[in-house]
Structure 1
């Protein structure tokens, strides 16, 4: 079985540092079921490919057991399976753990990656393959193989050659492969016990909890053992419950207190409302709607025909619904609204079909390595005609007397950008996905540090 990992991010040979395997060497590793070989078919600063080749010994697989013919004659030596996951964990252990001694800054840097698996069993077909990888932001290319070229009437097999393309940290790619390859194969070559629950949760950290197919992933990964599946799903559910709703409310209140003297919250809402109307957006989806402040404002205005709020936090949506109910609007007005739970870094068909998407004070809550996935979800897959994004201007923070020096406005902010940083990001996104972007200050503008909030209005070029 063969796994190829290619990058074109300059300098591409940094892939060798991340994998802890030198591009000029061919290395071999002894495993309990055979040999693993790592080599580089190509290695230049423009393009670099690392190959992981497994040479499985069928005799080793059955040594010490009472073997039958089926154990000697099967597809295990030739297709990607749990054997490949074990090889990834052992041969690329440093990269899988997100460590790099020589260039540690690379481990969390999103790079352009293409993973090619020569023969991947997909029990569930191409549809299930896409259900697993597309929500994670991958572009999936799959070529099905017929059972026998001499007998085409036998039909297609369950085997595919698969390419997965994404821009993300290498450790994320390896974690996804480690978990999802055995899920697609729907089998494992070793005994599954409680340790497998810990492995699943560890390697699924940061993406499995919000994955739309998490129950199917969990069930298959744990070989359909009900006790283990229930235990894993219970722990994932606990993470849902521990989703920092109460802390988020406290943090949001602190941020509001910082900005309250200038009524910045209302100025943001007014600016967003004006941008939506200027672009004729009657169907609007608010991504990261929180407790529904913008939704309430739009719902009161008959200009907007369809309004959808999306948030990962179920508790935030509950609060939003309660507050919207207090408006006591006639049914013909309230029926224009829907609330849905969803993660903004996973492709979701429910996000499509809108004139505009609003992303109000949201992107700064995303980890920078996850920002690329969000960009694809919004600008490539959902692709509304208009996108309105607001985010804090960190340069303005010196103007807030009640904000300590060096502190961000919200404890959950992963970053806050300068005006130049936001504009650089927005222009790159617009160019990449076929949009234009215009920038607008929100709040009183200072000659030296600009406005407290910066807003970008993206328009899709048709």
Structure 2
């Protein structure tokens, strides 16, 4: 298991002072799962590289668990696995052990330099990344890193075996040493999505200590928190609550999102566009004869309220934002709802770019003004999660028509309707994307517009209704 950190700061050998590891010596430490070493393969005034090598002993690791595994756990996989080679939570433990002082932001000999942003390059030659490159970019780029990644073959001697699940990754940024190490410490196990030791309440404190200054404002805050805490809902909820409290209401990403939603609503209100959108979606749900509907990216539950009132379908709402789900529960009056009605609906937190068994089994999925909030590299995972894995009989998607934007008198978000929109499609762009999705997953698609039609710009909202061949 290998991680290298390089700098071209002049003189580059100051890296030794920042990491508290002299370039002329090898440094070694014992760990519960093996040994870790720090060496410097290059150390000149122009460029200096510190390499952290971690030797994991998988046999000793298994045998150390009260005599080793028994029964179903006594498999060869316990001994033969990727732990000695692939970056994981073991590498984070080694970072904490060998670079603990640097992680705290201290440097005895270069105290001023420890507070400066310096040019760094990180190389991780074998990095597992659940979700692939889109997740890698989504985690690191908001922190200011340039990301370069290439796939690795499962076996160079047998190319027919195909690619491995590992990436060769280089990260470049100008950041403080402490920030770099904290980002690595938190995000390595998040990318691997598997911590190799017990996760308890103390892990919440550790996450907030290492991520408190940057995690609260990260757009993938919820994903990072869930994965770091091994998807323990109780711990993740506690960590997110403390992050929001520490960050303050003004900087709370959920509060910012609500303010931006209000801006978009103000732009569209003169056209009564939201009401027309909901009417069109309800009509599409009814036309599909849906007995069950899941609203993906349900937000604060506006569509779910209409579906409760206007249909008899079983309903579910999913959103990445805990706060939005809490608001939706209050607006829908779930706590005081009649038992029979309450049995019809459930709300749960989740992302739309990962396979999730809870998304499957519904006749119709509605995706209303959601897709434009996704970074373009995440459209592929989103497509596979919804059309490839969940596979509802009908999928209803609405999204803005960018061509219509010039007809709005004012756009607080600039040329897009919402500051968080990553893009907005023209009619031709939506048609191209929708046709590709339908073709790849065995659907047909019908495109329509919503709202008053302009002869040149079309209608303000676009709607795509996907129908799976063979129906339910």
- Partner in structure 2 of residue 210 of structure 1: 223
Q: Secondary structure at the match of 1:410?
A: coil
- Partner in structure 2 of residue 280 of structure 1: 289
Paired residue for 1:357, among 346, 365, 371? Answer: 365
Paired residue for 2:271, among 243, 262, 269? Answer: 262
CA distances 1:302-343 after superposition (whole Å, capped 9, x unpaired)? x43201111122222222222212997643234211111222
Confirm or deny: 8 A CA contact 2:123 2:170 kept in the other structure. Answer: no
| Residues 23-422 of structure 1 mapped to structure 2, 5 A cutoff | 33=37, 79-80=85-86, 90-91=122-123, 113=151, 116=154, 163-164=164-165, 180=191, 183=194, 186=197, 198=210, 207=220, 209-210=222-223, 213-217=226-230, 235=243, 243-301=252-310, 303-325=311-333, 330-403=338-411, 406-422=414-430
Q: 1:250 and 1:165 mapped to 2: Cα distance?
A: 39
Confirm or deny: 8 A CA contact 2:397 2:463 kept in the other structure. Answer: yes
Q: 2:224 and 2:436 mapped to 1: Cα distance?
A: 27
Confirm or deny: 8 A CA contact 1:81 1:185 kept in the other structure. Answer: no
TM-score normalized by the length of structure 1: 0.58
- Superposition deviation, residue 431 in structure 1: 1.9
Q: Which runs of 5+ in 1 are unaligned?
A: 4-29, 38-53, 59-73, 99-106, 119-142, 144-160, 220-225
CA distances 1:338-377 after superposition (whole Å, capped 9, x unpaired)? 1112222233221111001101001111222222222222
Higher-RCO chain (CA-CA 8 Å, sequence separation at least 6): 1
Q: 1:195 and 1:325 mapped to 2: Cα distance?
A: 34
Q: What CA RMSD, in Å, does the superposition of the two structures yield over aligned residues?
A: 5.1
Q: 1:245 and 1:428 mapped to 2: Cα distance?
A: 33
- Partner in structure 1 of residue 6 of structure 2: none
TM-score normalized by the length of structure 2: 0.57
1:451–1:412 distance in 2 versus 1, CA, 3 Å: same
Confirm or deny: 8 A CA contact 1:81 1:182 kept in the other structure. Answer: no
Q: Secondary structure at the match of 1:300?
A: helix
Q: 1:324 and 1:232 mapped to 2: Cα distance?
A: 24
Q: 1:364 and 1:327 mapped to 2: Cα distance?
A: 32
- Partner in structure 1 of residue 22 of structure 2: none
1:387–1:217 distance in 2 versus 1, CA, 3 Å: same
Confirm or deny: 8 A CA contact 2:190 2:224 kept in the other structure. Answer: no
Aligned length: 339
Confirm or deny: 8 A CA contact 1:36 1:55 kept in the other structure. Answer: no
1:164–1:439 distance in 2 versus 1, CA, 3 Å: same
- Partner in structure 2 of residue 430 of structure 1: 438
CA distances 1:65-113 after superposition (whole Å, capped 9, x unpaired)? xxxxxxxxx99996435698899x74359x9997xxxxxxxx689x995
1:181–1:382 distance in 2 versus 1, CA, 3 Å: closer
Q: 2:459 and 2:255 mapped to 1: Cα distance?
A: 30
